[in-house]
Chain A
Amino acid sequence: MSEVLTEFIRALRAADVRVSISESIDAGRTVELVGFDNRQVLKHSLGQVLAKTEEEKLSFDETFDKFFAFDQFKPPPKREDGPGQAKDGEGEGEKSESGQDAPSDGEGGEEGGAPSMPGQSSGGDGGAPQGAQSGGKPGGGPVNEGDVRQAGPNAPGGQNLLEMLEAGDAAALQMALAEAARRTQLNRIRLFTQRGMYVRRILEEMGLETLDQAIETAEREGTEAGDARGQEIREMRDGLRAQVRDYVEQQLELYTANAGKRLREEVLSQVRLSNVDHRDAKVIRQLVKKMAKKLIALNSRRKKRTLRGQLDVRKTIRKNIEYDGLLFDIVWKSEKVDRPKVMAICDVSGSVAQYTRFLLMFLYSLSEVLPQVRAFAFSGRLGEVTDLFEKEGIEKAIAETMHVHGGGATDYGMALEDFADLALDDVDHHTTVIMLGDGRSNNANPRADILDKIHDRARRVIWLNPEPKSLWNTGDSVMRSFTPHCDRAQTCASLKDLERVVSELLRTAV
């Protein structure tokens, strides 16, 4: 069975499509039968062989599209000018759009985009297409083509990278890319920070060096044609690099999206919140829920410890004095676990828009865990959303909060005044106050003095700012006037940060 197929089946399994041994053998026969040339036929065929429920079919389609991203390699436009080839390509396109093709297929176009005409790339109609591509510089093409040919074998399979690029042989390039990805074990990619490394390795694997050589050879000539040729290859190389980068990006998503939900969570929790887009909101919610559960578990574990606590010798003796030292009534040391009382104030203004949705989701889940969370939201004016959070589902609560309080211009001063009116009296030495916001006050008076008052009364004040510390105090950020009144002020730009803050909160709040 082809390595690419093996790899694909692995990706499918990671996407919760169950594939048995016998089915993978069937898949091998199927690929032998239909080949990799026609993307749609391949997709339909493998889909019927490998995905056996409606859900599996959904996963299959998604995984297939990411894995066999044939349309990454669009044949360069020059092909259309080339005699013969262009005709071929059009023929394919016509067929796919013909007659009764259901529009829902939506793939008619893609099908055309994956022309694979074996041997096309080695087709030797001289410098004609090349000339066209190099902007009609006469002479340049043919001469250099000779140079290029030396760089690698012409046999199918071991096809020269430059030839494939020049021929715009999408299917061959795709296979070469998939093969290089396999050899560099791209399937192990888990973190977005690894992208660059994989892009480089894959390019090397595909024969980047031959391109560099070809550029050098061309440019060493010192002729105008040579320079043009060098530039031409350079552009192809850059195009290829961009395509490989896209591919790596997709694969990262593929493997992180699918390699077990846990891995995804792990990866997600390291992704900066601003990168977490709308589509992932659902996953975040699950993650937050799970984190919330974990927090509950932590709590109850600590409780249990108090149940089988140690003997409190002093108290026991004092209590049993009346029994002449006979120890009737035994007193155990109990570690009293108070659930912290939390007031959370969330900035939902425009400047933190990409974070608030997440922060509110987190807040919401948190208030499910800790019964004594009071939640406030503000842009300009501040309002309490505790009831809303208690009564409504997360979606509605967040939408409502955003609707009522969201999106406006920030005014920390006004918000703190409102908070003081609403809740300052209830802040006591059991209370932890959490500020979620970027501390950008639109040049209005931030009223740090109110925060100071809050700090005086509260157990602690924690400020979580989604911006990295390097941005604090730049522009209209007035973090410097707030931080003196905080017990802790830290960047909170990822789930990991938040998780740490929260567990610390639970551990230390007495």
Chain B
Amino acid sequence: MQVNLLEFWPKILEATNETLVMVFIALVLACLIGIPLGIALVVTRDQGLMENRPVFNTLNIIINFFRSVPFIILLVAILPITRFIVGTSIGTAAAVVPLVFFSGPYIARLVENSLLEVNKGVVEAAEAMGASTWQIIYRVLLPEALSSIVLNITIATIGLVGASAMAGFVGGGGLGDLAITYGYQRFETDVMIVTVILLVILVQIVQTLGNYLSKKLRRL
């Protein structure tokens, strides 16, 4: 067993690195898509700052669609798109695409919820001061919701860590891939245990960091 782990150690390090890279890139891209979408949902809804029913309904349906497909199916279903975007359907880069499709809409929903929690009275006060719609979004809604958004994105990040483990299915690499190829398929139980422990630690770190950041952001 000792021998075994020593032998696998470089592989484990590499896999950890792959997981971190995968999650990080997917997270950044998902935020770039999800945060504007979340804002769009809030401002176009009934009584929103830029009420627009067709836009709201369209976004709503698209987001619900992606939210309702299980990740493992999404992973396979969008293989052609993945191939189109990154030129291949296997490897770490290829795994990022389904991860973004998976967590982008999720983040949109979470951001929507955070923004809806902002006291309507504060928005009204800003309107009364002569704030433009963009000023309200940028100077009121986002700063007031930031702490809650960070907490929600923490949840999404942890979801991403879990999903990235499944990306092993498309040979995406990372800790999940390692656990499946060695631990599950070749019965190297200790490798599996180590990867699971690393995943647990990773999730703990993400949550702790998220909580800390969120608390800091309650006072800007």
Co-assembled chains A and B: no
Interface residues of B, Cβ cutoff 8 Å to A: none
